[in-house]
């Protein structure tokens, strides 16, 4: 569907309004501060990233899974479905849509178990990954419903490649911008801006980092809303600022216990 972002469900249904997004998160934001909320998402995005890598998925698939995750919680509170279940479910669904081939159920669960045990013990201690295949499959139906069956997600990687080609192949610039796009998955930009704008934002940051002033004219010639690009740049820079003073290993347990959680059926 590469040629057709403007007609896509991504463009028509899933570029959200900032104010609306904040309103939809009101319930969670009564419990967590905005920064805490972002830290929680950052953590689950890491789980998705590491799971994807362990399963040898490509970054494109991982990015799609992360966007599914964010879209679900854009419309629902964190308490609706345990994010620790939704994260692998997003990976599972994205791998099918992005043609990676179906990951076998048992491999998915085993990978979740080892990843939680080996890489995230700082968050979960000795606790094991509590879910099984049937949970993932049930959750997958809820996910698909909440995504309104919009499964094709456009990512900034392709526009980024085209822009860099246009600039005149510069591997260092591409490498930097590519990583910044990966980082941007930890912010809300994928919910708020079209992927080509995110690619431009990432390029701008990369240029600043590399001290490339000579690209100013190139940016100036682009026919884009520079205010939007600045918002994207700010969101990503804010993330970097946050990371400077953030020690996830120390804080995450507190955040996870503070985060709103699903309530079981009332006991009779």
Site for other proteins in 190-249 (CB under 8 A): 240, 243-244, 246-249
Q: Please, what is the minimum distance in Å from the beta carbon of residue 260 to other proteins?
A: 9
Nearer Cβ to other proteins, position 35 or 225? 35
Helix, strand or coil, per DSSP, at residue 44: helix
The tokens describing 45, both together, are 């995005």
135 near other proteins, judged by CB under 8 A? yes
The stretch among 18-26, 27-35, 53-61, 224-232 that binds other proteins (CB under 8 A) is 53-61
82 near other proteins, judged by CB under 8 A? yes
Q: Please, what is the minimum distance in Å from the beta carbon of residue 218 to other proteins?
A: 20
Cα 193 from Cα 197, distance rounded (Å): 6
For residue 45, which phi and psi values (nearest 5 degrees)? -65, -35
161 near other proteins, judged by CB under 8 A? yes
Among 138, 210, 215, 226, binds other proteins (CB under 8 A): 138
50 near other proteins, judged by CB under 8 A? yes
Candidates 171, 195, 157, 182; CA nearest to 236 is 182
With contacts defined by CB under 8 A, how many residues of the chain interact with other proteins?
Answer: 82
172 near other proteins, judged by CB under 8 A? no
Q: Are 52 and 233 in contact (CB under 8 A)?
A: no
Give the contacts of 138 (CB within 8 A, at least 6 positions apart): none
Residues 101-120 close enough to bind other proteins by CB under 8 A: 101-102, 119-120
258 near other proteins, judged by CB under 8 A? no
Helix, strand or coil, per DSSP, at residue 131: coil
Q: Are 113 and 128 in contact (CB under 8 A)?
A: yes
Among 38, 182, 187, 204, binds other proteins (CB under 8 A): 182
Q: Are 33 and 266 in contact (CB under 8 A)?
A: no
């Amino acid at each position: 569907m590469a040629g057709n972002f403007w007609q896509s469900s991504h463009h028509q249904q899933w570029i959200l309004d900032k104010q609306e997004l904040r309103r939809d998160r009101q319930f969670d934001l009564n419990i967590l501060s905005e920064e805490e909320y972002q830290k929680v998402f950052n953590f689950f995005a890491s789980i998705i990233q590491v799971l994807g890598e362990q399963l040898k998925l490509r970054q494109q698939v991982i990015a799609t899974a992360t966007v599914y995750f964010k879209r679900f919680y854009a419309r629902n509170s964190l308490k609706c479905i345990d994010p620790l279940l939704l994260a692998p479910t997003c990976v599972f669904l994205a791998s099918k849509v992005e043609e990676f081939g179906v990951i076998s159920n048992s491999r998915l669960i085993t990978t979740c178990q080892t990843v939680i045990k080996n890489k995230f013990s700082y968050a979960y201690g000795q606790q094991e990954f509590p879910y099984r295949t049937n949970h993932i499959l049930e959750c997958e139906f809820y996910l698909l419903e909440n995504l309104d069956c919009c499964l094709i997600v456009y990512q900034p990687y392709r526009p980024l490649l085209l822009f860099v080609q246009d600039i005149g192949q510069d591997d260092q610039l591409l490498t930097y911008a590519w990583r910044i796009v990966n980082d941007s998955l930890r912010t809300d930009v994928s919910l708020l801006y079209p992927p080509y704008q995110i690619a431009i934002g990432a390029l701008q940051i990369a240029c600043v980092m590399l001290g490339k002033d000579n690209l100013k004219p190139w940016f100036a010639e682009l026919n884009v809303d520079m205010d939007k690009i600045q918002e994207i740049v700010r969101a990503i820079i804010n993330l970097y600022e946050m990371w400077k003073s953030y020690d996830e290993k120390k804080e995450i347990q507190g955040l996870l216990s503070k985060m709103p959680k699903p309530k079981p059926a009332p006991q009779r």
